[in-house]
Structure 1
Amino acid sequence: MKLTALLVCVFGVTTGEFVVAGILPAVAGDLDVSIPSAGLLVTAYALGMIVGGPLLTAMTAGRARKPLLLALLAVAVTGNLLSAVAPGFGLLFAARIVTALVTSTFFANAIVIATASAPPEKKASTVAKLAFGMNLAMILGAPLGTWIGEAFGWRTTFAAISACCAAGLVLVARFVPGGQPGVRTGALGEFAVFRNRDLLLAITITAVANIGLLMVFTYLAPLLTGPAGFTAGAVAPMLLLYGVGATIGNLVGGRLADRALLRSQLGALALLVVLLLALRLSPSSFTTGALVFALGAVGFSFLPGMQARVLTTAAMAPTLAVAVNASAYQVAAAFAGWLGGRVVAGPGLPAIYLVAAATTVIGLVLTGLASAREAADGEFGE
């Protein structure tokens, strides 16, 4: 039940992140702001996670994990509730930033709690089970939240997310055991963990290896309706196909990483390069559909292993390391959007697949370096 309680929380918190894109036009119209101005809600949330997550995690280092988790969830409940009743764009913007500030810290502590009692050979699959809540937010939470917004108004969407987070808070209070304090090193002591080169390499891999996948996902709709020749009505089913693949890949990838963490990551990244190139050359809509499903599956298969790698290389401050790793993923998403825009404005949409494959190759090389370092350390230890 501990893992289920945390999974409900992850579903609620991450739905709050993903759903904004679906209700953006309604928010803009109701609060009398432009679509680009309303889009700043997404940017603000990402920046809140990138900057606020690591800082808040360092500041709360050493706090007993269960009370901290409950406090973070209370902020998420309040932030989403304020979003629901905000009379103007200014308060809504502030509420989204406050909610974003606790997201990375919550997720980092949830991962540490979930994996605390798991044996080393099961850490990656445990992370994958927890991340299943994020997959559900993508394929169920965001569409459901968008539907609620269309049927009852966007404020009801945020109210429903607040209720989900409140339910998660009750479950955590009931089923997550206490007695899990952090290591009281202080904020500066926590940041000292980043002297570890293997940890820095693991976080760099998270940032670099995901750029290609995130670039294609960001521009998937125009890629489908443009070069691939799909109708606008086919985009939603294709996104669902991608989400189902991501869910399966996440769970299978966690099990593979339990057996051979870096080797499975190398294999997945190599396969991802092949899939990206195949999408560029896809001869039919059926083939494209199959490749989009495979893209989600392979692209999410190495994420649990990346988190597990960070955990194993940051034994002295795992919570802060996971929070920074989450920030690295957000940085990758922001950079992917920017780089994709430059590609579209230059060589054009089809070139996105080629640039995405090239950035993934860089991630593959870095993973190979990490694998070589691990092998060298093993030989030296023997």
Structure 2
Amino acid sequence: MSSRTLGWLTLFLVGTDLFVMSPLLPEISRGFAVSTSAGGWAVSVFAIAYLVGGPTLAALADRTGRRCVLIAALAVFAVANMATALAPSFAVLLGARGLAGLAASGITPSVYALVSATAPPAARATWLAVVTSGLLIALTIGAPAGSLLASAVGWQGVFVVLAVAALLILASTVVWTRRAAPPPPRTGANPLGATTTASTSDQYQLEPAPAVVTKVRAVSVTALWALAVYGPYTYLGTILREHLGFPPSVAAGALVCFGAGAVIGNLAGGRLADRFGGRLTSVITLLLLAGAETWFGLALHAGPVLLLASLAGMALAAYPFFSAQQARLVARYPAASGSLIAWNNTAMYAGILLGSAIGGTALTHFGPALLAFAAAGVALLAALVATSSITAPR
């Protein structure tokens, strides 16, 4: 089994664990006799634990070894899911979900770092994009499948299955990482593997781990990207059904179009970054995202066909960025790639949380069109930041 395949399966599992909570929340809330808003904390504590744990666990992985952190985090993840299934009270369930989020914050960057270290140099960004697609496909396949499974075995059974799956992946990881321990990055190597047409600013030499201020600057563009994308996306169902009056079938079609565009765009981003370099791909993608969100704002009252096409275009434009940004970070800081990728994921979660908060307020007071135009403005700002967020070594 290659690192790419194992990484995809691992992130598909983590994504399913996160996204399946949404369709299961009504049943969980009824089971513990809590309100829907209180039940939502089962999702929030996962995200908060991920935000807190990501940078710390990734720095630990860079110092002590990514294999050890990944194996330990997978073991904790399996325990957390079993604890979720067996939780006797809602408070215990919240603790289990927080533990799962903490474990996920150790799993995700370790997977990305191990895959980037074992991928062919000329296809590193492509491999990262393939692995990332596991998270995106979990949104469109894993979560609905978990919801269907819950109708047969209950919501507790879903988390038992996730715990067993985590143990199987843990066993595979122990075997694979023992056989294929990646060599340390070589000084002067080009970890991104861009061809001669790529920008030379993506080809860096090994140097000491960056300071916190440098890390924040490097991943700030990811926070802006997430804010631009998830500000409108979080309220997509509300926009389509309450503001535009579309039936549920159109709302479902919109999610399918967006999900398909996200997967295709993510995979395309890896190839583009390998070919043209992470910096150029990131900047062009963000400019295209600004245009696509402007198109979405203009297409709100143009009928369902154009509206669905604009959503697919928005996802196609948005998701090449993430793979390109990850490849760019690995290229710039190969010795601290796990740490930088963790900071990047933390920035993404921060942008999502901020986008959800600001997007709801903007939608309530200004309407969906201005929300889309504001998101386009944030994307333009992100494109500007991306030109200098990751600097060449001195």
2:44 aligned residue: 43
Q: 1:342 to 1:162 in 2, by over 3 A?
A: same
**TM-superposed deviation, 1:338:** 0.6
Aligned length: 368
The aligned amino acid for 2:163 is S
Partners of 2:334 and 2:67 in 1: CA distance = 19
1:239 aligned residue: 255
Mapping 1:86-97, distance limit 5 Å: 86-97=87-98
**TM-superposed deviation, 1:181:** 8.5
The aligned amino acid for 2:383 is L
Asked if 1:220 corresponds to 2:239, the answer is: no
Q: 1:192 to 1:118 in 2, by over 3 A?
A: closer
Asked if 1:275 corresponds to 2:275, the answer is: no
Partners of 1:235 and 1:23 in 2: CA distance = 20
The aligned amino acid for 1:264 is T
2:309 aligned residue: 290
Asked if 1:362 corresponds to 2:381, the answer is: yes
Partners of 2:60 and 2:284 in 1: CA distance = 38
- Larger displacement relative to structure 2 (10-19 or 172-181): 172-181
2:264 aligned residue: 248
Q: 1:146 to 1:182 in 2, by over 3 A?
A: farther
Q: SS of the counterpart of 1:230?
A: coil
Partners of 1:146 and 1:202 in 2: CA distance = 38
Q: Is residue 65–residue 180 contact of structure 1 (8 Å, CA) maintained in 2?
A: no
Partners of 2:368 and 2:108 in 1: CA distance = 34
Partners of 1:116 and 1:103 in 2: CA distance = 20
Partners of 2:229 and 2:281 in 1: CA distance = 17
Residue from 330, 338, 343 that aligns with 1:319: 338
Asked if 1:205 corresponds to 2:221, the answer is: yes
Partners of 1:53 and 1:13 in 2: CA distance = 14
Q: 1:58 to 1:64 in 2, by over 3 A?
A: closer
Long gaps (5+) in structure 1: 184-189
What TM-score does the superposition give when structure 2 sets the normalisation length? 0.87
Deviating above 6 A after TM superposition, structure 1's stretches of 4 or more consecutive aligned residues are none
Long gaps (5+) in structure 2: 186-206
Partners of 1:225 and 1:95 in 2: CA distance = 34
Q: SS of the counterpart of 1:87?
A: coil
1:149 aligned residue: 150
Partners of 2:157 and 2:254 in 1: CA distance = 27
Q: SS of the counterpart of 1:103?
A: helix
The aligned amino acid for 1:272 is L
Q: Is residue 287–residue 380 contact of structure 2 (8 Å, CA) maintained in 1?
A: yes
Q: Is residue 62–residue 182 contact of structure 1 (8 Å, CA) maintained in 2?
A: no
Partners of 1:200 and 1:209 in 2: CA distance = 14
Partners of 2:167 and 2:273 in 1: CA distance = 33
What TM-score does the superposition give when structure 1 sets the normalisation length? 0.90
Mapping 1:1-382, distance limit 5 Å: 1-2=1-2, 3-176=4-177, 177=179, 179-180=181-182, 193-194=210-211, 197=214, 199-260=215-276, 261-282=278-299, 283-370=302-389
Q: Deviations 1:79-134 (Å, cap 9, x if unpaired)?
A: 11111111110111000111111212211111111111334442211110111211
**TM-superposed deviation, 1:242:** 1.2
The aligned amino acid for 1:318 is S
The aligned amino acid for 2:226 is N
